[in-house]
Structure 1
Amino acid sequence: MSTTENAIASAEAHSAHNYHPLPVVVATADGAWMTDVEGRRYLDMLAGYSALNFGHGNRRLIDAARAQLERVTLTSRAFHHDRFADFCTRLAELCGMEMVLPMNTGVEAVETAVKTARKWGYRVKGVPDGMAKIIVAADNFHGRTTTVISFSTDPEARADFGPYTPGFEIVPYGDLTAMREAMTENTVAVLIEPIQGEAGVLVPPPGYLAGVRELTRERDVLFIADEIQSGLGRTGKTFACEHEGVVPDMYLLGKALGGGVVPVSAVVSSAAVLGVYRPGEHGSTFGGNPLACAVALEVIAMLNTGEYQQRAAELGDHLHRELGLLAGGGAVRAVRGRGLWAGVDIEPELGTGREISEKLMERRVLVKDTHGSTIRIAPPLVIGKEDLDWGLEQLREVLRG
């Protein structure tokens, strides 16, 4: 057996099969490229589901992490440390908010948001205890914890994990009328992705986010934007909500906030919302640790230049022009997305999304499928135009058969 085959066989034998990875074993990576254990190079067109917006091994982020590793990596929140206040201040400023509650993974930020909205509903809005409702969108993906899969409509994520957590109302994505009809006096929040990633990079109809903002203000309901995949430069803006000039009541951030170096997530909101917490009511041993704060501070500094947002916008325009040409050629049904983020629906007779991803892997391009015959394209924002064009050419060749 080859080194690759041995590694895959060992993983299959000794790890739970909760993922079905492509049969490639990565050993090193730099920028937009990864190299496997056999020395073969692959163009990364997934970027860790947007966790690697700034590329593999970004020197600024690695240097920030290395410097902090030599000082202190963890104190727990039992004590203050010298990176925490700066991290919270700078992230709040980036978001135009006042307070930050740091966690580790994206789904922890979502769980934190659910708890926050409920507590705000009881303490501030006056909803009767135990009666709070949160409106979510069908085909959402906010993670896979027990509470979060309770409001998923994906059978794969939900089946066999009941009993499910109550307190959620599911409405069609993009349908303001349905959202309005679902609201009651006990509704405390609307939780949506500004662009639905796992569903196939679904962009809502024009005016939808602005309509959600207007409706939530009108009904005294929190607007929670899950920008864990869409935020921090991916769509050509710092936040996807900016494309409609919308500022939610709460941002949920993760993935790229840790630069692909460490897991970092955060709930960012106003003092009126996050101020409902008292010591002991919520926490995390690793949330806001010194190493995470050091890396995230460098991410924030990089985003403050505007360079990465501009790059995503310009290369994103090019990406969507090229994919649009494919959509007119009979092999691609539809293309959606914003910035350097696209969902591509392949004609089913050409193969499933998994099959297309495997064929691209054979041509040294790594993407990932989602439902049916859809693939997602989301390269690191540092990708060169020539590399992007090469990757798109490999897709054309696969679609030509």
Structure 2
Amino acid sequence: MNRIVIVGASAGGLATAEALRRMGYEGVLTLIGAEEHLPYDRPPLSKQILTGEWKQDRLPLRRPADIDALGLDLRLGTAATGLDQAGQTVALADGTRVPYDAVVIATGVRPRRLPGTEDLAGVHTLRTLENALSFKARLRPGQRLVIVGAGFIGAEAAAVARGLGVEITVLEAAPLPMAQAVGEQAGEFLAQVHRDHGVLLRTGAQVAGILGAQGEVTGVALADGTVLPADDVLVAIGSLPNTEWLDGSGLKVDNGLVCDEFSAAAPGVYGVGDVARWHNPLFGTAMRIEHRTNAAEQGMAVARNLLSPDARRPFAPVPYFWSDQYDMKIQAYGNLRAHDEALVMEHDPAMRRLLVAYRTGDRLVGALAVGLPPKILRAWRALIASRTAWETVVSDAAAA
């Protein structure tokens, strides 16, 4: 194998490239990125960049010298537009075609948008450095910000903006924020924290449209006829995998690039990071995870499988994610979505402490902690990894 192409120059793509070189790959290694920047960290965009704690020069994942040392054929600022499996080439927006012996698809996701807002100033999304800098420039005391969507991006941005004195309304279509991801108990806990900090949280809210005048946003109209005045609107209603460029490639796409337990989508074609929907044998289900840790781990696993095709290993992690909101660090391990039961193990709103265990079938599949030492959650991670029976979790909790 002399030519490996990685499409996507963010955390997952860079992790794959670094792992390949570390494991001894000496062939041509092409890294393609639609953005002009060297690979940079995205989680700080909704936290440290907005607060001003970090300047943008802290975002790059590696120094330019470290990137140079990888000996990459680096193609930045040029998006991939097609993939030809038979001819083993990747087509780029500049008209060139890059040949490959193996290709890694790490093209990530993009934010969902509300229709009709593309040319309206003051309507924001948070995915790129430019998004974050544009949004940050608008955050000032007394500014009226409406955030559509109370997922992790929306909640993190609300926490930061509130700390800067911005007047905030958060709109969530569901009865509770983040309940789909973390369950009702955790959703109620997190909702109360935001309310305690002065955020107006409206659940069950259906957005009818974004209002504007003379090219500037002026408010948000709800389906019940309410109009919320707004100087700015942040749209945080989830994301879409960047797979359109694969149309006609023959690869299966269904809420991401469909991959097997080895992260392979086809012979010589692998998926990494946010765009990949792969079968995780530890949980027996397909997953597509939009978290930084998973992208890096999957990149390393794919590099190993590429270089050891006769000894491939399934990618079967216990997923991890975290979120910083106000003075809280929220951390979770496992597969929390679509759980059958969420059991509160510890709950102290005054101390901002919470521990929830999650069951699917007869197994412990996840744990979420707020305000607890990392070693406690690591112990839960070990229980999840060992497929601990739910009845054991319940009996141990009763005995404690």
Same fold (TM over 0.5): no
Q: Which has the higher contact order (CA 8 A, sep 6+)?
A: 1
Higher helix share: 1
TM-score when normalising by structure 2: 0.29
TM-score when normalising by structure 1: 0.29
